[in-house]
Amino acid sequence: MPGYVIVGTVGAGKSTLFNALRGIKKEAEKTQSVEYDSSGGIDTPGEFLCFPHLLPALLSTTTESCTILYVHAADDMECHLPDGIFAVYPHCRVAVVITKIDLPQASPDLVEEMLRSHGLAGPIFRVGKNVQDDFMTLKSWLYEDALP
C-alpha cells in the first residue's frame, strides 16, 4: 500500500514537495501523469483538482494510500477542494502543506484560516524554498508516525 499521495492544483508546489521528500534536488517539471516513488509516495497532476471531470481519476489514485497531503500555495486565497472530498476515505490521514510561504505576496496565516473554514482539520505544515522549519516536522509526521 502506498504511503502517501500528494494532491493540489496546478502550480501549488506538489512536484517540488515530492522531490524534496525524496531528497531530490532538481527543478520540478510539470507533472503530466501520476508519478510513483519506490518509498510509497504518489504525485498527482494538478489537473485532477482543476477539472471536475478528472475527479474520478484523483479518487481512484488515492484509494490505496493511507495518507493524503493536500498542497496549497500561500499566495492562493481560494479553496479548490470539492466539499467532503477527503471524507470518502475515512482510513486516510489528511494533512495540509502550505507552500511558497517565502514569496513576498504570501499570506500563510490567511490561507490556513481559509482552509480551516473549509473543514480541513488535520495538521498544517508550512514550507518554502528558503524556509524549511516545518519540512523536517512534516517528514517526521509522514514517515515516523505513519499508520501500520
With CA atoms as reference, report the closest residue to 88 among 106, 63, 64: 63
The three three-digit cell numbers of residue 2, written as one number = 502506498
> Which band of pLDDT confidence, cut at 50, 70 and 90, is reported for residue 146?
low
Which CATH architecture does the domain made up of 4-144 adopt?
Answer: 3-Layer(aba) Sandwich (3.40)
Distance CA 80, CA 99 (A): 15
Model pTM?
Answer: 0.88
H/E element holding 135?
helix 133-139
Instruction: State pLDDT tens for residues 18-62.
Output: 988 888 877 776 766 788 888 788 888 888 777 777 776 777 666
Confidence of residue 97 (pLDDT cuts 50, 70, 90): very high
Least confident of 5-14, 35-44, 58-67, 109-118: 58-67
Residues near 92 by Cβ (< 8 Å), separated by ≥ 6?
62, 65, 66, 67, 68, 86
C-beta neighbour count of 136 within 10 angstroms:
11
Q: What is the pLDDT of residue 56?
A: 66
CA distance 131 to 141: 18
Confidence of residue 112 (pLDDT cuts 50, 70, 90): very high
Q: How many CB atoms lie within 10 A of CB 55?
A: 13
At residue 73 the predicted structure's pLDDT band, cuts being 50, 70 and 90, is very high
pLDDT of residue 98: 96
Spell out the domain ranges in the chain.
4-144
User: Which segments within the chain are labelled E, that is strand?
Assistant: 4-8, 35-36, 41-43, 67-73, 93-99, 124-126
pLDDT at residue 148 is higher than 70: no
